Structure 1
Amino acid sequence: MGGAMFTGIVQAKGRIVERIEVRHAGDADASFVIAPISDARGLDDPSAVAGFGSGSLAIGDSVCIGGVCLTATQVKADSFHVDVSAPTLRLTTIADWQVGRCVNLELALTPSSLLGGHLVSGHVDGIGEVQNKHEDARSLRLDIAIPGDLGRYAAIKGSICIDGVSLTINSVEDIDSGGSDGRRSVVGVNLIPHTCRSTTLGALRVGDALNVEVDTIARYTERLLSYREVENSSGSDADADSDS
């Protein structure tokens, strides 16, 4: 769904309580029932969890679930339903989501929302993989491999969204391994204890797949620069023609 924006600041964690497979015309999509289980601040704030129930969430509202923007299709007091199309299943980690999995939840921005992270659309750019995990002082360090074509949007001290969580990039390494793996980039991020507790990232293991969304501003900047190069090139050609 287009139009909704998020910040990558997780408001609650939810648990998948039902997965419903739907097959139509030879292709398959799925519906999920998700129950909010805890607020993200670790304060046992019932109002945060209630924000994803029938008192606040409405049919048609956008929710960022594990980094993917989805639409609430049914809302009950203690759970809500979302439908996931076949293309979304193919392009994200949702195809592997099963009952019992915990996911990060965030409601769409409103005019009065605080922008605590960075602008996130919930449109996944690619699937990453946890390459390494270790303690780094009081934080948890994750090294995450992302597809090579996304590496150009990663910059030290820039932002990246991992499974719906806005994170600061602390290192970037571009790797060209050749063979079947080809090019990839490894970004290093540090999770403070609060982030480990309040999101699903603290429980990640090496080899786990992740939904990755690069910084929207970086993507627009690249597009603008490419147009400037075309315009400059056209101007140079015109000058050359006039000289002749």
Structure 2
Amino acid sequence: MFTGIIQTVGRVARLEPRGGDVRLVIDTADLDLSDVQLGDSIAVSGVCLTAVTLDARGFGADVSNETLSLTSLGALKPGDAVNLEKALRLADRLGGHLVSGHVDGLGKVISITPDGRSQRWTFEVPATLSRYIAAKGSVCIDGTSLTVNEVKAQRFGVNLIPHTVEHTAFNARRVGDAVNIEVDVIARYVERLLSSGEAPRLDEAFLKQHGFA
């Protein structure tokens, strides 16, 4: 699990074809890897990857064809900027929201508009994802935990403060770029409960137990 609070911006060092998929090697810049071991998880632009090599410059991770085809990692080139976050520890502060690193799909940058010192960004997502995005709810974009300002059909807006733009790979994003989207896992569980028909029964049982029905 992750928090969606980006720890540093790394760079793609190289991509090595390996038997049909790819080993992605990341230069982690100033990210401290002293507490990372082989097999640990690191989120790369919101995608949970397993470190299979470690050295003083960074780490390598094997990326399957499934991940390459369903996320923006398949379009990466050497030198591209990526958001990095090490896996959450139980003692860490949860500054964003609970993020699994399992990307639900791709979105697209529609517009970037100055708003005082901040920027207002509009994204478009498939209809299968837009139903999970709600105003003032949380969404993870390229691994960054953000609060949704407004939602209209398949588009939604967020506000990026100067710190977020400066310290994440958003400063390299442009209108038309693809971004990794992970919706709030709580929204998925709520939908599952409602669609299963179990939520109303749970409510009735709770009310009866406490003398309200």
TM-score normalised over the length of structure 2 = 0.91
CA-CA distance at 1:57 after TM superposition:
1.6
* Counterparts in 2 of 1:231 and 1:116: CA distance versus 1, 3 Å: closer
Q: Distance in 2 between matches of 1:231 and 1:11?
A: 41
2:13 is aligned to 17
1:71 is aligned to 50
Q: Distance in 2 between matches of 1:120 and 1:173?
A: 24
Runs of 4+ residues deviating >6 angstroms: 229-232
Q: Distance in 2 between matches of 1:130 and 1:108?
A: 27
Give the fraction of aligned pairs with identical amino acids, expressed as a percent.
Answer: 50
Candidates 19, 22, 25, aligned match of 1:33: 25
Q: Distance in 1 between matches of 2:38 and 2:72?
A: 24
Render the CA deviation track for 1:10-67: whole Å, top value 9, x for unaligned: 01111111110123xxxx21001111124xxxxxxxxxx2x23xx2221000000000
Secondary structure at 2:197's aligned position in 1? helix
Structure 1 stretches of 5 or more lacking a match? 39-48, 175-184, 233-244
CA-CA distance at 1:231 after TM superposition:
7.4
Contact 2:29 2:58 in 1 (8 A): no
Q: Distance in 2 between matches of 1:156 and 1:229?
A: 26
2:168 is aligned to 199
Q: Distance in 1 between matches of 2:200 and 2:6?
A: 41
* Counterparts in 2 of 1:147 and 1:79: CA distance versus 1, 3 Å: same
2:206 is aligned to none
CA-CA distance at 1:230 after TM superposition:
9.0
Structure 2 stretches of 5 or more lacking a match? 202-213
* Counterparts in 2 of 1:30 and 1:135: CA distance versus 1, 3 Å: same
Amino acid at match of 1:206: V
Q: Distance in 1 between matches of 2:178 and 2:66?
A: 17
Amino acid at match of 1:15: R
Q: Distance in 1 between matches of 2:74 and 2:48?
A: 15
Task: Work out which of the two has the higher radius of gyration on C-alpha atoms and give 1 or 2.
Answer: 1
Are residue 212 (structure 1) and residue 181 (structure 2) matched?
Answer: yes
Alignment RMSD (CA, Å): 1.4
Secondary structure at 2:62's aligned position in 1? strand
Across the two proteins, how many residue pairs are aligned to each other?
A: 201
TM-score normalised over the length of structure 1 = 0.80
What are the within-5 Å matches in structure 2 for residues 38-57 of structure 1? 38=30, 49=31, 51-52=32-33, 55-57=34-36
Q: Distance in 1 between matches of 2:75 and 2:18?
A: 15
* Counterparts in 2 of 1:224 and 1:230: CA distance versus 1, 3 Å: closer
